[in-house]
Amino acid sequence: MVAGTQSETTRTPYKLWFDAALVDELATLLGDAHQDFDQALFRREATHGLDTLEFKDRTLHIADAMALAMPWPTAERMQTLIAALPPELPDEEGVTEKGYRFWPFGEFIARQGLDDVDASFEAMVELTKRFTSEFAIRPFLAADLHGALDRLEALVDHPNLHVRRWVSEGTRTRLPWAKGVPGLKKAQPRRLRLLEALRYDPERYVQRSVANHLQDIVKDDLPTGLDTLERWATDGESNSSAGDLLWVVRHAARGQLKAGHPRALRIFGFEPGVVGIGQFTLSHDELRAGDTLTLALTLTNPTDRSLDVRVDYALSGPTKSGRAFSKVFRWSDLELKPGQSQTLETTHSFAHRSTRKVYTGLHRLEARVNGEPSPGREVWLEGLEGNDPHALKNIR
């Protein structure tokens, strides 16, 4: 998915970016790019009814107005888009807020470009250097999956990091906001070939996409995903020039690690059922919204060898609807020497957040050590009123 730059507290609703002022800006850019672009028609059609639409429909509405204003062959249209683009993004940047103004360009390519794939791919590559074409590529994958994958495979060594990232991001099966592509899951060997070519990429921006794509494969096909994680982890450990490959593997495995999947844990040397789990305590048994809870856990290595240890904690409690939630949080990674005991502490804030509110009721916490749960502890929390403060019983 595209990477934005806005903070949670200052975020402007996406749909408000696509307003009459943006239409006017795009009209000028496209008019400067091609003397026959009908700016007046574009402004009129693009702004008509725009304020009544939500985000996605606004981008489509503007893209359709672009099509009316340049009734030319596809190749000429695509060259007009390219000529209207700003300078390329610096290598170290993701998509900025100003980049989002070109979202309608991607929609235009997706809706108007299938009859000239060469011209459209050229436009998508250039758009990717300034914004993203991860959504625009989806209709091309749907129309000719292996033909589109062939074209993307030719770009794995492209000098522009945004283009290399696009090769991975645009072919994800679980790309947020994107339409599904028939046959994409079954084309997993082709997609893995793309990831194999990108796995040693030096840029974290590309690495993150490769990891997220591999995580999609883990979710779609767990045995193949775990086989790939294990093979890449072995390659990363044995190859001193592998760079950040182990970071890619760990990031791709994060869901399975949090879930305590035994094989995923063993890939990283976390042996389930070996570490001694001692006392698990909470600093309070009653709290109010906004308070902070301290968790403490004692661990022991009963063996005569060092052990790698991953500690998470799970929190369960009521929601507004009355149903219970359960969420796993990271705590710590550590190494325990032979015979060593160690007490860990961490804190959990019960402050309200925009993405998570705190509701009155019984909450339960447990530590998870290399996937193994500790005895649970409970705390009563006073927060917002939900439908069932005892919803916890539903997940016991």
Report the CATH number at residue 374: 2.60.40.10
Smallest CA-to-CA distance from 25 within 53, 47, 48, 56 is with 47
Q: Are residues 167 and 250 in the same domain?
A: yes
Q: Are residues 371 and 223 in the same domain?
A: no
- Please write the tens of the pLDDT for every residue from 195-244: 999 999 999 999 999 999 999 999 999 999 999 999 999 998 887 666 69
Of 226, 248, 267, the residue that ends a domain is 267
Helix (H) or strand (E) holding 211, with range, is: helix 204-220
Q: Are residues 160 and 143 in the same domain?
A: yes
- Chain centroid to CA 177: 10
In a domain, 5, yes or no: no
Helices (H) and strands (E) in the chain, counts: 15, 9
Smallest CA-to-CA distance from 341 within 281, 280, 295, 277 is with 277
- State the pTM of this model: 0.89
**How many folded domains does the chain comprise?**
2
**What's the pLDDT band for 5 if we cut at 50, 70, 90?**
very low
**What is the spatial distance between Cα 132 and Cα 167, in angstroms, rounded to a whole number?**
11
List the single range of 90-99, 291-300, 355-364 with lowest mean pLDDT. Answer: 90-99
List the single range of 68-77, 259-268, 365-374, 379-388 with lowest mean pLDDT. Answer: 379-388
Range of the domain at 52: 14-267
Q: Are residues 255 and 280 in the same domain?
A: no
In a domain, 167, yes or no: yes
**What is the spatial distance between Cα 226 and Cα 215, in angstroms, rounded to a whole number?**
10
Smallest CA-to-CA distance from 340 within 369, 374, 305 is with 305
Helix (H) or strand (E) holding 361, with range, is: strand 361-369
- Beta carbons within 8 Å of 25's beta carbon, 6+ residues apart: 101
**What is the spatial distance between Cα 115 and Cα 330, in angstroms, rounded to a whole number?**
49
- Please write the tens of the pLDDT for every residue from 6-64: 444 456 788 899 999 999 999 999 999 999 999 999 999 999 999 999 999 999 999 99
Q: Are residues 263 and 311 in the same domain?
A: no
